Amino acid sequence: MDLQANWFKDWFNSQYYHQLYFKRDEKEAAEFIHLLIEKLNPPADSLMLDVACGKGRHSKILANHGFDITGIDISPDSIAEAKESEDEHLHFFVQDMRLPFMINYFDYAFNFFTSFGYFKSEREHYNAIRSIAQSLKANGTLIVDYLNVHYAEDHLIHKADKEIDGINFFITKWFDETHFYKKIVVEDDDLTEPLEYTEKVAKFTLGDFNDMFAYYNLQIQEVYGDYHFGAYDVRKSPRLIMIAKKVVG
């Protein structure tokens, strides 16, 4: 199986990635952010980091709640588009989450929509958690929204075809002991031949995240299983949403 170590750099920078994943209900995203803000009840002057922000979808919603938001993403094209919405309370940077960024600066950090788990090695994933933890102030809060491994295994749809704005996506999914895979073939009349991408996402469980977090002084405070903050069930919950605190000393 020939999967490039940094497949995500090309795929996340592709127009087809955004067409496939983000032609979705903005209302749903706004409702989740609203419920999250109600739950966290952050002070009005909170500084927030949106890790792997893409084109800034969640960042913009957070900014509309009145907070100061910084979004980072590895995709230059996504950040270029996000920057069109910048103002004094909304900022975007091209940044690899594995590398340090604005140390001890933010009150809150968010990682939405399974925007994690795609690096080649365990060390790289630990580096990403370290960098996010370092970006938080003491007692800062991290929220990670990840897939629930056991639910994803039980509900995997192995083949699917989608047509979006005249572009055809042919999707094949499978998994092994450590990862989920998704092959996406894109057919577009503007292309001379189909494009093919293969996603690879690690099977990180709650226990795995707890281990990574603990290594960098992050303690999980609450765990939820869906975007309405229902109780987490290892088999029945579609999501793994974790709220952790940076504990120092």
Percent of the chain with pLDDT over 90: 74
Determine the pLDDT at residue 23: 57
Higher pLDDT, 16 or 117: 117
Q: What is the pLDDT of residues 5-25, one digit of tens each?
A: 566 667 666 777 767 776 555
For residue 22, the tally of other CB atoms under 10 A from its CB is: 13
Q: What is the pLDDT of residues 193-247, one digit of tens each?
A: 898 888 899 999 999 999 999 999 999 999 999 999 999 999 999 999 999 999 9
Q: Spell out the domains of the chain, with CATH numbers in brackets.
A: 7-148+204-246 (3.40.50.150), 152-199 (no CATH)
> How many Cα atoms sit within 13 Å of 106 on the Cβ side?
27
Query: Rounded to two decimals, what is the model's pTM?
Result: 0.89
